[in-house]
Amino acid sequence: MGNKSLAAVAAELRRAVRPVLAGHVMPDGDSIGSTLALGLMLEQLGKTVQMVSQDPIPATYRFLPGVERIHIGTVPDADYDYLVTLDCSVPERLGPDVKPLLSRPGIRVVNIDHHISTGPFADFNHIDPTAAAVGEIVFDLAEPLGVEITVDIGTCLYVAIATDTGSFRYENTTAGTHRRIARLMEMGLDAAAVNTRIYDEKPLAAIRLLHQVLGTLALSAGGRIAWLRLTRAMEAEYGEEVDVEDLINYARRISGVEVGILFRELPEGQIKVGFRSKRAVDVAALASAFGGGGHPRAAGCRFEGELAEAERQVLGATERVVAEAFDGRSP
């Protein structure tokens, strides 16, 4: 328990013979990139590495070196001596197929993360909330592990760091973030080619879906709240294979808007509500009023029932919070 230094984590990882590495459910660029980078590093040290993920790898990341070796779903049976969890704030984030490994007799658990809310649920925890991405921590592990950052490893680390910082735009980006990227590029990383793979290969359906969703844009609270709808009909027509994460930002990005909301109809008759705020409103508190949670600037909750009723309740609550935050001042 407690927080271990990078050197201590590296020493522990060097002891592993047959480690299994796992990121979180619905994996993003940092989860996948960090898992692959650390997996390739541990293989350099001669270990028999297994990488697993509860959920499939989104199409965007399927070009990453080694990605075909991440096993999806049920964990292959083997005599693992270490479990390394990456980018998981709580054990539940591993997913139902992977989480049981935590309590497997004889397995030692190393937890590497950067979420401020992460508990020390493992035997060895390295939690650094100042890291922009887990990819930064894995980058820093290369030296104490004594491994070389190859172009393949650098590609995975770049994807981890670039996606978790919104291409270095978010406030988690530090001078150290840029220095690490400079080193990756000096090692031969073709960052532009990686960015083309991530950002310039959108499925046609994603652009058609964006058009549909933008058609639902509505504002309230004098332009302080903007929201969008993603209906079952739209997803049935365009969206099942499409990454819809960025849609909400088209609402948040509008000048004068403080809170952007996306209402998404799920197949099971639920409504998934996403919240993003700019600076004044704590959307984690807002989401928690509906049984959800998240960060002050990005949060979410789920709603049983009809879209219209979810909108009525959520918009009502958001308008009250916005009115308090701005105390009657106009946008």
Whose Cβ is closer to a copy of itself: residue 117's or residue 167's?
167
| The residue to which tokens 């049981």 are assigned | 100
Going by the DSSP 8-state scheme, the letter that residue 69 receives in this structure is G
Residues 6+ apart with CB under 8 A from 226: 217, 218, 219, 251, 252, 254, 257, 259, 260, 261
Whose Cβ is closer to a copy of itself: residue 18's or residue 297's?
297
Helices 175-186 and 191-199 cross at an angle (nearest 10°) of 110
Whose Cβ is closer to a copy of itself: residue 86's or residue 209's?
209
Name the minimum Å distance from CB 192 to a copy of itself. Answer: 4
CA dist., res. 252 & res. 259, Å (int)? 6
Name the minimum Å distance from CB 201 to a copy of itself. Answer: 4
Name the minimum Å distance from CB 238 to a copy of itself. Answer: 12
> What burial letters (b/e) apply to 15-28, b meaning 16+ CB within 10 Å?
ebeebbbbbbbebb
Whose Cβ is closer to a copy of itself: residue 102's or residue 185's?
185
Name the minimum Å distance from CB 146 to a copy of itself. Answer: 23
Going by the DSSP 8-state scheme, the letter that residue 103 receives in this structure is G
Residue 77 is encoded by which pair of tokens?
A: 């049976």
Whose Cβ is closer to a copy of itself: residue 200's or residue 240's?
200
Sheet holding 298-304, edge to edge: 218-220, 225-230, 259-265, 270-277, 298-304, 293-295
Name the minimum Å distance from CB 280 to a copy of itself. Answer: 13
Q: Side chain identity at 11, as an amino acid letter?
A: A
Q: Which residues bind a copy of itself (CB under 8 A)?
A: 167-171, 173-176, 178-179, 181-183, 185-186, 191-193, 195-196, 199-204, 207-208, 210-211, 214-215, 217, 219, 223, 250, 252-256, 278
Q: Of 281, 260, 258, 262, which Cα lies nearest the Cα of 272?
A: 262
CA dist., res. 19 & res. 156, Å (int)? 19
Whose Cβ is closer to a copy of itself: residue 193's or residue 266's?
193
φ/ψ of residue 123, rounded to 5: -70, -35
Name the minimum Å distance from CB 206 to a copy of itself. Answer: 8
Q: How do strand 218-220 and strand 225-230 relate by DSSP bridges?
A: antiparallel
Name the minimum Å distance from CB 225 to a copy of itself. Answer: 12
Whose Cβ is closer to a copy of itself: residue 73's or residue 203's?
203
